[in-house]
Amino acid sequence: MESKASVRSSEVHRVVITGLGAVSAQGRDIETIWRACLSGCSGVGPITRFDVSAYPTRIAAEIKDWDASPWMDKKEIRRMDRFVQFAVAASQMALADSGLIVDDSNRDRIGVQIGSGIGGLATLEEQHQVLLDKGPGRVSPFLIPGMIPDMGSGFVSIMLGMRGPNSCVVSACATGGNNIGDAYHVIRRGAADAMMAGGTEAAITPLAMAGFCAARAMTTRNEEPEAASRPFDKDRDGFVMAEGSGMLMLESLQTARARGARIYAEIVGYGCTGDAFHVTAPAPEGEGAGRSMREGLRTAGLTPADVDYINAHGTSTSHNDRNETAAIKAALGTDAYRVAVSSTKSMTGHLNGAAGAVEAIFCALAMRDSILPPTINYTTPDPECDLDYVPNVARKANVNVALSNSFGFGGHNVTLVLKKFTA
């Protein structure tokens, strides 16, 4: 006779989103951030945490006056890098929003899948200076757990008592999407009933900013920060660094229904591909990104005709926006010109490893509220970027199927497919 566990693991489970949580430069909760996006309000401004006078880029979407004390005590705060604090705060919000109670009856079946593209760089920089100034004996014992990228997942598991599968995918700017997609598969195959999934990042640091400036990847539009991130616009000149975290409480439909949970949306597909082309540049014509979208639709059992909205990766860099536009055309064919596409990075900035999670949240909220967030700062059309980018003003629209795209250095491509929930 088969055990209950083996029977459960052989089933394929539907996966739904029951809770959302986020922190960003635009706010400390989901609804505040969402209202800012629908209003076209940018979170970008001058960097305040360190002297940037010698930097070509002196702006970012910085979370100013961050206070972690509502979500953790002072002792815990001292042990955590900023990126971990963001993860813990957003996860607590998502759990509370879901209404799921974690206790001894279910904690072994609830897991955590949270990634960070860069990890605790602030801790690393700080402690390296301690090493240089005071010697190895003064380096903090919390250096290693403060800097490694998996500590968002680790601390959330510990603090929320979630003892199911616990993992961390690091795939640069595709990190948030990858972690949600992998958590989706964990639930689908029956290895867990629920997963906290998402991404977190806090890389507005002297070294990270210097590195991205050296790569000439960021905007230098310092005098007009709110207009600096301009995806798909002909005058775009680079991305804007951002920080924050996005978390989704995922559950099997069976588990969510059993407790009468409110459901935001269903995840129905996950595309994940590699460019095998270049360490930083996307494959020509967005070949890998196009395959990711097609794979997402294939796994969802959907066609291009089903897609209503795409939350684009849309970084405001010349190569990304042009290649993503080509990828959308390759994946959707003539439907590419019908589907609404927007880049919320025009307002949030680029949250790197947290970007895909925050943007998946926006897709779920677009379904809930039947409204599309805009791409702001779109003033000069680029002939190579000729799709409907929902320019500057939010738009009422019924969204049944949405794609969330995330692409990362190293040739990582992720597409999450969300669908409005129906019984």
Catalytic residue among 13, 37, 350, 385: 350
Catalytic residue among 13, 37, 168, 173: 173
Instruction: List, in order, residues 6 or more apart from 67 with CB less than 8 Å away.
Output: none
Distance from chain centroid for Cα 332? 23
Give me 25's structure tokens.
């430069």
Q: Where are the beta strands (DSSP E) in 275-338?
A: 309-311
CB-facing half-sphere around the CA of 240: CA atoms within 13 A: 31
Residues 418/180, Cβ–Cβ less than 8 Å: no
Q: Give whole-number Cα distances, 21 to 256, 397, 419, in Å.
A: 18, 24, 19
**Is position 350 annotated as part of the catalytic site?**
yes
Nearest to 244 by CA among 365, 116, 360, 364: 116
CA distance 332 to 376: 24
**Is position 185 annotated as part of the catalytic site?**
no
CA distance 36 to 27: 8
Other CB atoms closer than 10 Å to residue 353's CB: what's the count? 36
Give me 14's structure tokens.
């539907």
Letter for the amino acid at 45?
G
**Is position 173 annotated as part of the catalytic site?**
yes
Largest interatomic CA distance in the chain: 70
Residues 153/113, Cβ–Cβ less than 8 Å: yes
Distance from chain centroid for Cα 288? 19
Classify the phi-psi angles of 190: left when phi > 0, otherwise alpha if psi is within -120 to 50, otherwise beta: left
Reduced to 3 states (helix: H, G, I; strand: E, B; else coil), residue 102 is coil
Beta-strand relationship, 412-419 and 401-408: antiparallel
CA distance 150 to 191: 20
CA distance 316 to 369: 26
Give me 305's structure tokens.
């005709």
Site of tokens 């660094």: 241
List, by residue number, the catalytic residues. Answer: 173, 313, 350
